[in-house]
Amino acid sequence: MECEYRDQYSVGDLQNPKMGCSLFCELFQSVAFSNYVSARKGSISILLGPTGHYERLSFWTHFVGAFVFAIYAIARHIVVHDGARVSGGLTVAAAWTISAVFLTSSIYHCTAPDRNFSMVTRVMDYAAIYIGITVTTTADIAVATRGFLNVPTQTIADLPTAATLLIIFFVWRRSRLSGELTWTKHEITSRSKDGCMLGRVLFSYGHRYLAHIQMRQATSLLLFGSYFMIVPAAMEVLGHGVARVVLALQVSAFVTVSLGMAIDRVFEFPDGSLVEGSLTCLACPNTLGAVLNSHALWHIVAIFSAGLTVASREYALAYS
């Protein structure tokens, strides 16, 4: 037996689609709050409910993350008065940058169901990630070296230069490829015990990086891990006692973000279990219309990882 589920990923009237600002508002309404698909054929998803959407939790997790880090940035402005120092100023910049990265991610997931909108917002999302990693890691290096004390100019310029080149490459790549070529469907095809393909509701469309996916993931990790090149300097400048705590938090953040990427891209947890009909406790079909899929879980892990880097930065500033 093969169950026919209705398309709950697409947004709006597929026969009479909206354009421009009207389409953006429709995407926001449908992804964030209520996706009306009553006119479409097929059964309602038992995981998403009558008005749910696959991207809803991905949108809200990073939207809340953006709000939390904006509050942290404002509170730091008010409580801590070290903005005149290079390390203090970069720490504030890092806080606002993290908030902006999460907000950009929310905008992308809000527009993900539309092929044309997401062509732009997808590039914005990853450009923001490269900029975010660059600013936060540069802030970490500044804190670990007391404002780049005796740090060569080349070392300071390496990260921004690398991030700029990567952004230029991926913007150029996007301009050279048609939307039809990169717009692909991702779906878990396992079946539940009764034979129904529940994966038909746990699917998503997106602009994939195709042959460059490994390059994009590897460069993100390399930028994030570039902090560890200054470990000897951190030990010397901060002192072994403080540096051990700072490095432990940084290592924890790196391991956490790597694990999060593996959960989303390799293990695809808990998507497989959800498709097979188990772990349905992770779905809220009637109240939220959302399900904790692998990408939403990755978002939560990313917020936690960002929190660890903030803790490392603040500890170094407080005790150095």
Q: pLDDT, tens digit, for every residue of 243-264?
A: 999 999 999 999 999 999 899 9
Helix (H) or strand (E) holding 290: strand 290-291
Domains and CATH numbers, the chain: 54-319 (1.20.1070)
Q: Any idea which residue has 């809000």 for tokens?
A: 110
CA-CA distance, 97 to 101, in Å (whole number)? 6
**Cis? peptide before 50, omega within 30° of 0:** no
Pairing of strands 183-187, 203-207: antiparallel
Evaluate whether 227 touches 140 at the Cβ level (below 8 Å). Answer: yes
Which residues have a Cβ under 8 Å from the Cβ of 274 and sit 6 or more positions away?
Answer: 47, 188, 198, 202, 280, 282, 283, 291, 293
CA-CA distance, 254 to 165, in Å (whole number)? 23
Centre a 10 Å sphere on the Cβ of residue 97 and count the other Cβ atoms it contains. Answer: 22
pLDDT score for 246: 93
CA-CA distance, 99 to 62, in Å (whole number)? 9
Sign of the Cα pseudo-torsion (187, 300, 73, 309, in order): negative
In the chain, which stretches have pLDDT less than 70? 1-3, 83-84, 189-201
CA-CA distance, 66 to 100, in Å (whole number)? 6
pLDDT score for 1: 42
Q: Where are the beta strands (DSSP E) in 111-257?
A: 183-187, 203-207
pLDDT score for 204: 87
pTM of the model: 0.92
pLDDT score for 278: 81
CA-CA distance, 206 to 184, in Å (whole number)? 6
Burial level of 126, CB count in 10 A (0-12/13-18/19+)?
A: buried
Which residues have a Cβ under 8 Å from the Cβ of 283 and sit 6 or more positions away?
Answer: 46, 47, 48, 274, 290, 291, 292
Angle, CA of 35, 40 and 43, to the nearest 5°: 90
Evaluate whether 205 touches 8 at the Cβ level (below 8 Å). Answer: no
CA 142 to chain centre: 25
Evaluate whether 117 touches 133 at the Cβ level (below 8 Å). Answer: no
